[in-house]
Amino acid sequence: MNQRRGRVATWFAVTLLVSSACTTTETGVRPRATDSGATTATTSGEPLDRQALLDHSREKYGSPGALAVVNDVDGQWFDASGEADLVGTEIGLTTRFRIGSITKPIVAALVLDAVADGDISLDDIVSDLVPGDLRADPPISVRMLLDHTSGVFDQLNEGSPADIERLPDPEMKTEARSLARQYADGEQVIAPDRLLVALAETHDRYFPPGSGYHYSNTNYQLAAMVLEAATGASLADLMRERIVQPLDLEHTTVTPPDTEPPGLRGYTPGRRDGMFNDITNDLIGFGNGGNGGVISTGEELLTIIRAIVSGRLVRPDLLTEMTTMTPESNSTYGLGLARYDLSCGTFFGHGGSVNGTVSLALADASTNRGAVIAFNLVSPTDPKLPALADDLLCG
């Protein structure tokens, strides 16, 4: 087992691994079951063998382990394939994993909850709510953060080492250099949200705000900052009060403040066949957690995504806003939710890829159906989780 750090010394220089904190690989696509490459265990008159599908997909992808939770009209199914880590730890119903960008619909739901309470409006200007962190001209609204039409640069996916030296604030530049040195020395550090935004602001906008679509993790750093400014509560406190407690969850938290490693370790391929890099607890890119800091179990994550999509956590008119896809995103991304057109219906959810774990959560607003899938490997190969979800839900 290769336990060395999976990145080069300067944290912001590695786009594949840090930036996978929250990529869009699994969002906004329109998969079909025939795209999965999996051997379907279903023929006319035969029962669906979900375990065989999960085993086949995990083995084909090369992940040490995988889990899946599926809810359909017949009830809930959970199973695991492989192991949670390289020493053979079993994957169970309460095994926690980093959900990555599936955090984004959770943050969006909390923003819409604050809208329902009158704390903020979707049309509020972000630079007015968090003054000094985002350039005021051209103005960006809260809505533009949630649907990725702000044009704000995606620091985690596309940043470079040179960005530190372009920081205009000398104190922030010193802070960034210090964090880079600590990280290079093997210390566990988390870059503050204001620093991640400042680094993004050393770049021009992708386009004038509201005129295009570009997925950006910085949008959700800012969304969590807006929430804290508007409500006076941290993302962790809001999530506990508005989601964890109402849904009676026991294993769902957010990094920060929770810096404990989850049970499902996350890996990237090593330089030699059969070797893996464990990057489970490489936390520097999480900021305030809004871009992808939530940790949960498959069962609890499915409970959350079903509660969001069904309207239990979001007022009906605001849920309509959330599930209205923007033309700029080719009508596959709304306010924190992506649309998945599976062979058995339309589902809403999000994908995540962070610290060696790739995952997907989706649910159907009009039925009891939904699924969560997670593999503990992030590699250049596409695991085709939406197509696997199609097989598991629609097979």
Tell me the pLDDT tens digit for each residue of 4-25.
233 323 334 333 233 334 554 3
pLDDT at 77 over 60: yes
Average pLDDT on 175-190 reads 94
- Is 2 part of any domain? no
Residue 62: inside a domain = yes
Torsion of CA 194, 198, 200, 201, to 10 degrees: 130
Which one-letter DSSP state was computed for residue 33?
Answer: G
Whether 77 and 49 have beta carbons less than 8 Å apart is answered as: no
The Cα–Cα gap between 180 and 164 comes to: 10
Could you read off the pLDDT of 293-351 as tens digits, one per residue? 999 999 999 999 999 999 999 999 999 999 999 999 998 999 999 999 999 999 999 99
**Residue percentage of the chain with pLDDT more than 70:** 88
The pLDDT score that the predictor gives to residue 153 is 98
- CA dist 222 and 358 (Å) reads 23
Q: Report the number of distinct structural domains present in the chain.
A: 1
CATH classification at residue 321? 3.40.710.10
Model pTM?
0.90
Domain of residue 362 covers 11-394
Whether residue 310 lies inside any domain: the answer is yes
- Across the chain, mean pLDDT equals 89
Q: What is the DSSP letter of 280?
A: T
In this prediction, residue 16 carries a pLDDT of 29
What band does 183 get if pLDDT is binned at 50, 70 and 90? very high
pLDDT at position 365, please?
Answer: 87
Task: Indicate the burial class of 89 (C-beta count within 10 angstroms; 0-12, 13-18, 19 or more).
Answer: middle
pLDDT of residue 57: 98
In a domain, 1, yes or no: no
